[in-house]
Amino acid sequence: MKPKYLGKHNSLSRNSSLDRISRKESRKDFSEFESYGLDIWNAYEFSYLLNGKPKIVVLEISIPSNSKYTIESKSMKLFLNSFFNKNFANQAEVINILTKRISKKCNLGVKIVSKSSFKTFDRNKYTNKSGLLVYKGFRSICPVTSQPDWGNIYIYSSSNTLNKKEIYNFLFSLRNHGGFHENCVEKIFLYIKETFSIDHLEICGRFLRRGGIDINPIRSSQKKLFFTNFREFNQ
């Protein structure tokens, strides 16, 4: 993907645009891909004017994984930043506008809520679950900037017979893989599902933020998701 905004001056008029990415294009290397899931974007630096006074809120933007399109991250950051000097009578009004604009670009409804706090990963709650693996220090390469992306990968399955060493070796092999967060998680999901023939599998990638946003894809073989939106210490 050719960089459109990176390293370039961006006027406020351009900042209001959203660029979308075809999910079909990002999955072209997969023979088939079927799953449930979400891409959870946490935007920590969203600001607007509430009755003329500056307001800063944290947004949780959930984009369904079966949407036809997703949003290019730099354009999302610029789009959100374009609201900093716009005045609204209440927060519901601005969230409604954001929801409509982003949903239209994704060609499917997204959900946006403001956050006052985040849950942490409750290890006591999940430790006794069979088939739960956590891989720390996952690394991949952004296909736009060629810079490293870092995160932790959470793997839940209905089986406790997963070969931890084999899976960790595969995750380690992706350290120079060029792919967006969503692509990496889907690649991991397919590899484990096809290698171990698991009925219930769910992958959650918790990636470090860039430019005030972290993107956390979840892919599951079942509609009811095991993981929710929690926050890592280093996020």
Residues known to be catalytic: 142, 149
Q: How far apart are CA 73 and CA 102, in angstroms?
A: 12
In Å, what is the CA distance from 169 to each residue of 37, 110, 161, 188, 189? Answer: 25, 35, 16, 12, 15
**Can you tell me the distance from the alpha carbon of 18 to that of 191, in angstroms, rounded to the nearest whole number?**
32
Contact partners, residue 118, CB within 8 Å, separation at least 6? 42, 229, 230, 231
The identity of residue 115, as a single letter, is K
